[in-house]
Structure 1
Amino acid sequence: DKTRGNERILIFATDEQLQLLFNSTQIFTDGTFDSCPPFFYQLYVIHGIEFGRQFPCVFALLPRRKRNTYVKLFRYITDNAIRLNTVFNPTRIMSDFESGLKAAIVAE
């Protein structure tokens, strides 16, 4: 893909990773800015819990920390839950809540 633009989001997750995430009642999220490739603002990782351990399930390269960016990410996750005939409905989300992330979680 040769697309370059400030709206581009790349999301990496296998069906197995997504299923683990969908089975988790608690999820943990974190973004890093130092380990991000050019053209992206942050690497955002969503972790699920299985057997009492935390596993990375979704890796997303995001262009910014705005509400709309996080909405697109969580919409992708929700759409894939539907595709896998399940739901994404964690009861607890642990994060260093940024205003954009919090607004997106409430919206989705």
Structure 2
Amino acid sequence: MNITIDWLAFVEVFIAALVASVVVVVFYSLGLRLLVRAGRVPVVAPAEFTDAIAIITEKESKRAAKAAAKSARKSPLTAQQKQVAAVGAYICFSLCALAVLGGLVLIIFTR
């Protein structure tokens, strides 16, 4: 029995995975940046897990929410610019979702 490895296919899969991961990370980070510029800072409520390394206290959560509200008030953008930034953020998040769904379609429906 002779086993052969198709190295070209291996390199193709490696490059495709690398490009896809870079695309998802870039669009997600750009979307978060635009969301913050739009004045809609995502503040996540603390979750308490028994195996968590660091647990955010209620005081830290309130401080983060206060800082987010303060940065939203200090934004030099007009209301229209904030709206454009929010739309851009949602477009970036949609592109991330499409990239992930495209990868799933390639995995499931191709051989």
Query: What is the TM-score with the length of structure 1 in the denominator?
Result: 0.27
Query: Larger Rg: 1 or 2?
Result: 2
Please identify which structure carries the higher helix content: 2
Q: Which is richer in strand? A: 1
